[in-house]
Amino acid sequence: MRDLRQKIDGAVAAIRKKTALKPAIGIILGTGLGELVKEIEGKLTIRYDELPNFPVSAVKSHENQLVFGKIGQKNVVAMQGRFHYYEGYSMKDVTFPVRVMKALGIKTLIVSNAAGGMNPNFKAGDLMIISDHINLMGANPLIGPNDDSMGPRFPDMVEPYDSELMEQIEKVALEEKIPVKRGVYVAVAGPNLETRAEYRFLRVIGADAVGMSTVPEVIVAIHARLRVLGISCITDECLPDALKPANIEMILKVAAEAEPKLSRLITRTIKSMP
Ligand code: HPA
């Protein structure tokens, strides 16, 4: 417990040596959705491997970094590249950056991801505002002793995704003429994509989209009393009775094509925030 606090302090101290910027908003950019950092002005980047206690990534990529700067008048920090449970990181590791961003001062967390669409009204390339989630990862980042100074033992989950932020992004979407859906995101551990029987099951239990991330970070964000806005980019259509093979190249291609509208939506929503 004290260990986690010390680890957070260590990472924060290292960041403070590089920038005095106090972010109000944290952004986690999902698979294939890292281009939003282009919208950040006065950028300062810090690679994850420069930060003590940050999980070490097996893949050396320029996408593993924190990007500090401004969007409009707002100070932001963006995670370009996240840690996935299926990569072998613990749930504590996956969510450590959220703890660090909270310690840096963020009040709002915006999360994006690439997800498979199970709602038959969704098409590949659609954007879905996450209205709620189902945790089917078989793990939870809050398991273990609870540090009451960070958040409650039994955090309430009546509204993990902030309804005002949802309305705000939908208003912006309307103005920008970017169609958006709303739906429930279910998180599974992965790394395999689902069987047809699994898609049928996930749809029946009430999910509109499925992916392998986001929920751990959102659970920790709620524990830390952050406001959360989540957006899924639907990258493939997961209809059990008409399922076509999917692969990561195709998923990345669709995410890249949808990326400009996602970036526009998030930057404009941030600018419109009070
Ligand atoms: N499952 C199916 N399709 C997907 C996923 C997933 O977890 N992520 C992106 N497309």
In order of their start, the domains of the chain are: 2-272 (3.40.50.1580)
pLDDT at 1: 59
CA–CA dist 99, 186 (Å, integer): 23
pLDDT at 132: 98
pLDDT at 56: 76
Instruction: Determine the distance separating the centroid of ligand 1 and the alpha carbon of 8, expressed in angstroms.
Output: 31
Record the pTM. 0.95
The tokens describing 124, both together, are 């590949």
Walking along the chain (274 residues) 10 residues at a time, the average pLDDT comes out as 88 96 95 86 94 79 86 95 93 97 98 96 97 98 95 97 97 96 97 96 98 97 98 95 88 91 95 90
Query: Which of 106, 107, 95, 230 lies closest to 161, judged by CA?
Result: 230
Instruction: Determine the distance separating the centroid of ligand 1 and the alpha carbon of 118, expressed in angstroms.
Output: 10
Terminal CA-to-CA distance of the chain, rounded, Å? Answer: 35
**The CA-based dihedral angle spanning residues 62, 113, 181, 185, taken in that order and rounded to the nearest 10 degrees:** 180
193 lines ligand 1 (CB under 6 A): yes
Nearest protein Cα to ligand 1, atom 8: 115
258 lines ligand 1 (CB under 6 A): no
CA–CA dist 107, 187 (Å, integer): 24
